[in-house]
Amino acid sequence: MNINGKTQLFGIIGHPVTHSLSPAMHNAALMAMGINGVYVPMDTTDPATGVAGLRTLGFVGISVTVPHKVAVMEHLDEIDPVARKIGAVNTLLFRRKPGEEEVVVRGFNTDWLGSNLALADRIQLAGSRVLVLGAGGAAKGVCFGLVEAGAEVIITNRTEEKGRGLAAWLGCDFIPSDQLGKVRADALVNTTSVGMEPNSADIAVNPNLLDHFSVVMDIVYAPLQTRLLQEAERAGCQTIDGLSMLLNQAAVQLKIWTGKRPPLDIMRRALEDELARRKSGGNISAPKDI
């Protein structure tokens, strides 16, 4: 990489960001796409001053991760209608108006597209039935995307009040965890952190119920093959690992920033290599990129 005065600047803001896999993935993509650009992690606790600084420094595109996906919205000039409906932004695009010095910052949300694209590799989303485990920020994006695609969504969550709240917002069904044995669906998606290292022996649903689903997707990527996915394979399910959503939402980000089609195979390989490097060094952190 030859960094010079024409190098385009991209990056990720959040707190913390040292754990992020995004730099490895995005830098590999930029190089493969022939773009003179660099993607850097930037830890910030204040999204207001963060966005102001990025405007001044000439950044082109930024990923936004926890805990700033909601707070950053009030510091943007424009917000994509879908991102506004979701109530969270994970992608910023910086553009100057023609003939002007003013920088316009527009916010997008690609998380929901990431999960939809990952699932669409296995099932036809429209008309499908999907059980989603969890009711946090990741669940909100996943469920929103599925509803937008015409799927029937069922939500279950350990805290019933929170789960029912998300279901009411989306206009979908909620089922208590003790009634999951009654559910049959095309897919199950785990959006919780259950099964994440160092608690990789944990599983978010009774393994005896997994044969009720054709496809099982887990957003946890440390470990890459969670116990949920291992048990799902034993039950005869197709599986989707935690890198798939991260990869697909990042590919949409790159298309927004560059207008070019990103190299998914190279991005996936970069993610896997980075995970392997960290595992060999004992440096696997919680997945908070999404």
Structure tokens at 102: 């003013």
Residue of 6, 69, 85, 182 marked catalytic: 69
CA 260/CA 258 separation, integer angstroms = 5
CA 246/CA 290 separation, integer angstroms = 7
Give me the residue label for tokens 């208590």: 176
What angle (nearest 5°) sits at the alpha carbon of residue 11, between those of residues 28 and 141? 95
Identify whether the C-beta of residue 104 lies closer than 8 Å to the C-beta of residue 96: yes
Classify burial at 4, counting beta carbons within 10 Å of its beta carbon; exposed 0-12, middle 13-18, buried 19 or more: exposed
Give yes or no: 6 in active site: no
DSSP bridge partners of 131: 154, 188
Identify whether the C-beta of residue 63 lies closer than 8 Å to the C-beta of residue 13: yes
Structure tokens at 114: 């990431």
The per-residue b/e assignment along 257-280, b for 16 or more CB within 10 angstroms, e otherwise, is: bbeeebbeeebbebbbebbeebee
Give the start-end residues of each E strand in 162-285.
173-174, 185-190, 213-218, 238-240
Active site residue ranges = 69
